[in-house]
Structures are given as C-alpha cells and as structure tokens.
Structure 1
Amino acid sequence: MATRVEWAERVERWERSGLSAEKFARREGYKPEQLYWWRWKLRAGRARSLRGAGSGGGACAGPSATATRARASGCR
C-alpha cells in the first residue's frame, strides 16, 4: 500500500504531466478515482495546516473578519 508521501509524489507527477487522470492512471497502473481522491485529501490537509499556522489572527481570524477582507486575503 502506498503512503501519503508516495501519493503526493504521484499526484504531483500527474499534474505536471498534463495528462488526464484517466490516461495517467492507466499508464501508471492505478485508478483515476485514486488520483482525484488523493489530490483532494492532500489539498484539504494543506489548507488545514495553513489555517492553523498563524496564531496572530489576521484577516482570517474569527467572526470579526469581513467576508470581503477574508476573500481578498485568500481565506475560504
């Protein structure tokens, strides 16, 4: 079974390849759904770690941040 690090490398190779998930997965011997799922999982983990990275607050912190300010700074 491949590890998270191995899947991160696979997803990165897929994205750099310019191929569709179907073509890349067929060439590499796994399912396109696995690529989509791991891309989602890795991005979700990255976003979660970025949200928790700063303790100082900023535009993304709490209910006082307006939606416009949050969007402008990349908060979701």
Structure 2
Amino acid sequence: MEKTYSVIGIGSITLIFGLIFHLQGQSVIGPESSFMYANPNWVTYGIEIMIVGTIIIGIGIISEILKIKKAKNRQ
C-alpha cells in the first residue's frame, strides 16, 4: 500500500472519530453512561479532531498530486 493512501486513510479515521466524539458531546449517539455524553467539552474536542483529520487528508491528497506531477515531468 502506498504511503499517500495510508495518510489519507489515517486522516479519514481521525475525521470519523472526531465526528463520533462531537455527536456524543451533543447527546446524539452513545450510551448515556459515557463520560463524553452531553459534555460540551467533547463537542469542541470533536470539532478540533475533525479539523486535524481534514488537514491530514489534505496532506495526503496534495502529496499524491505532487507525486503525479513529478511522474509526468519525468516523461
């Protein structure tokens, strides 16, 4: 598996975890016994984690684009 696809995969997983944390903080999903449930701090943490995941995905996409351009320049 190529490195760029691994980076995109890690970013996607991070984004999904951030979404889950955000929704638990808003009392949308998760058990009521969870320390994250209905906790406004986790709404913010979830948003921050989603932003980090999006940045990681962006880095993976940009590195794939640069790799394609580099391969075209060699031809």
TM over 0.5: no
TM-score by length of 2: 0.43
Larger helix percent: 2
